[in-house]
Structure 1
Amino acid sequence: MRVFLAVARGESLSRAGRALRLDPATVGRRIARLETDLGARLFTRSPLGYELTEEGQRLLTHAQAAETALAGARDALHSGPGGLRGSVRIGAPDGCANYLLPQVVAAICDENPGLEVQIVALPRVFNLSRREADMAIAVSAPEAGRLSVQKITDYRLHLAAARSYLDRHGPIRSMDDLRGHRMIGYIPDMIFDKELDYLSEIGVQTVGLASNSVSVQLNWVRQGTGVAVVHDFALPAAPGVVRVLPQAFSLTRAFWLIRHGDDRRLGRLNRLAEALTTGLRRELARLEAQVPAP
């Protein structure tokens, strides 16, 4: 069933093999054996990969239920009085993953020595149905899927630039002045969530320096190469970078904790989700409090 689920989610033997740490040929043999044992064809093979047949779709529901039951068994073993144990993978956009999650997760692991946490920082939406992560942090709440969604907290963003850049190019006194400055932002066709389309809100049409990574954008700002929309919680990590026109332009966004709907019955993940949410709220408030008032 593990092999079957991996192929159903990865839609190829190679992706399933990487997830299971098995040779793709071994994955293929196990799928063939499963189909023989069940007397049903579970996948349609094509040059594009493996796609579930109608019989495979019916089996998928039961395989997922079995996976949840086994996860519950592991949860019971890993939720004793000694604290949280086992391995958990958390997906997050790279801004949160770089400037908030490391210290929050480290504190949780200090309190739970048996816990192993993996942070996957990717500038895209995670697919929890394919079990890319046990839980994910997102910048907007999904509207479809069998998911559990919880708002973590709001956060603020402002225009920012290095003092060295402002010294060379002069002060920016109004939003109109931005037209004469190089703007830093996301690659337009790689913005994976409408909540990240910051620059369109101020009418910026041309992005002189663009990256799909928040960290790359902030590093450009630190080097004095232009102006960008920056998370307030990231500014303490960038000495020499100051907010620009904070009274004229400010954005508020939110982080959401997303989990697979079936995982709400798992006490271990519930406790971790609570610790993660509390820690992120506390850490974000601490970092934003360090940013000088306008």
Structure 2
Amino acid sequence: MFNWNDLTFFLELARQNRLMPAARRLKVDHTTVSRRIAELEKDLAIKLFDRRPDGFVLTEQGHRLFAIAERIEQEAGEIQEAFGAAPSTPVGRVRVASMEGIGAFFLARIFAEFAEKEPGIVVELVTERHLINLTKREADISISFVPPTGQRLVVRKAGSMRLALFASPDYLARHGTPAKPKDLAKHMFVDYVEDLVSIRAVHWLLDVLEPPAVAFRSTSMHAQQNAVAAGAGIALLPLFSAKANATLVPVLPEEVVVMRDIYVSVHEDLEYMTRIRAVMRYLTHVFQREADFLTRF
């Protein structure tokens, strides 16, 4: 029979990935952490961690135990709350995957706010052009513009965002301001690199038109917006990013309206973990609170 107390050491090392940080949080020597993990692995007859140069990485068996141990930790916290004891503070890392644009222009700001509310949780924001696989544990939570697919995923629509055409004053002074949608055929555009678009819903300019002439392409929405600000052409940009540059001018804002839903997803094995639940609850609140910012000029 294994020692239940060893689960505390296991959870902390899984969250910190290194002996010294785990030991500091547990207020013990790092050799104690190492010994207790070795004893737990011996008692369970499984390998919980791969020891690598960059730290301790959970094995497949380690991931299974981690999910169980966090549920035990959560139940212990509920016992504390039920009988009037102070609930434990959620701690650990939560990896959130999303697209580069919303990550840089929106999520970075709101997660800075979250860090003040929950100092024990460290959010790791991973930005990719493709959808992260939650089933393979590439991240804990996904924020995307299309609902991800996979076994045992909990997918919720958290909100919506609006996109609009924008240009710089310099570009419009040189090329004129379109008065009607048909006038767009005479203009230059900034767009994505077509053969590198992994998610078709992100190639949102195609909702408006097939751009007749493209001055600049990039896989980065941030780079596209900077090119627009420099006068390269017109681009379809989310309001959450365009609002970061007050010099950008909306083009045909009443005639061209493009919307995208925002989905927040998590694997059901992780949904009720204390730190995951804290981030999910916060995201739900923020997308409701920021609805006007995301959808209105």
The answer on 1:218 being equivalent to 2:225 is: yes
Structure 2 Cα separation of the partners of residues 214 and 138 of structure 1: 15
Letter in 1 for 2:181: M
Q: Identify the residue that residue 167 of structure 1 maps to in structure 2.
A: 173
In structure 1, distance between residues paired with 2:76 and 2:106: 30
Q: SS in structure 2 opposite 1:247? A: coil
SS of equivalent to 2:142 = strand
1:104-253 aligned at under 5 Å gives the runs 104-205=110-211, 206-253=213-260
Alpha-carbon distance in 2 for matches of 1:143, 1:214: 24
User: What is the CA-CA distance between 1:73 and the residue it aligns to?
Assistant: 4.5
| Aligned-partner SS, 2:290 | helix
Could you list the per-position Cα deviations for residues 216-244 of structure 1 after superposition, in whole angstroms to 9, with x for gaps in the alignment? 11111111110000101212211210111
> Which whole-Å CA distance do the structure 1 matches of 2:247 and 2:97 have between them?
30
Q: Secondary structure at the match of 2:270?
A: helix
C-alpha separation between the residues in 2 aligned to 1:162 and 1:207? 16
Once the two structures are overlaid, the 10-residue window that deviates more, 229-238 or 258-267, is 258-267
Deviation at 1:119, TM superposition (A): 0.9
Matched, 1:285 2:292: yes
Per the alignment, residue 267 of structure 1 pairs with 274
The 2-side partners of 1:212 and 1:98 are apart by 14
5+ residue gaps in structure 2? Answer: 1-16, 19-44, 47-58, 79-85
Give a deviation string over 1:108-159, Cα, whole Å, max 9, x none.
1101122211111222211112222111101111244221101110110011
Change (3 A) 1:222 1:83: farther
Task: State, as a whole percentage, how many aligned pairs show the same letter.
Answer: 27
Give the Cα separation in 2 of the matches to 1:77 and 1:102. Answer: 32
Q: Could you tell me whether the CA contact under 8 Å between 1:83 and 1:111 is conserved in 2?
A: no
Give the match for residue 86 of structure 1: 92
Paired residue for 1:6? none
The gaps in structure 1 that reach 5 residues or longer are 1-19, 22-36, 39-58
CA drift of 1:177 comes to 1.8
**Aligned CA distance change for structure 1 residues 115 and 144 (closer, same or farther; 3 Å):** closer
Residue 87 of structure 2 aligns to a residue whose secondary structure is: coil
- Residue 77 of structure 1 and its aligned partner are, at CA, apart by 7.9
Contact 1:128 1:135 in 2 (8 A): yes
| Larger CA deviation: 204-213 vs 153-162 | 204-213
- Distance in 1 separating the partners of 2:118 and 2:65: 28
Which amino acid is 1:118 matched to? E
What RMSD over aligned residues (CA atoms) do the two structures have, in Å? 2.7
CA-CA distance at 1:275 after TM superposition: 0.8
The corresponding residue for 2:65 is: 66
- Displacement, 1:81? 3.1
CA distance in 2, matches of 1:151, 1:168: 42
Change (3 A) 1:144 1:128: closer
Q: Matched residues in 2 for 1:264 and 1:285: separation?
A: 28
- CA spacing shift, 1:73–1:210, aligned 2, 3 Å: farther
Counterpart among 97, 104, 108 of residue 98 in structure 1:
104
The number of equivalent residue pairs is 235
- TM-score, normalisation: structure 1: 0.72
Cα distance, 1:109–1:163 mapped onto 2, change above 3 Å: same
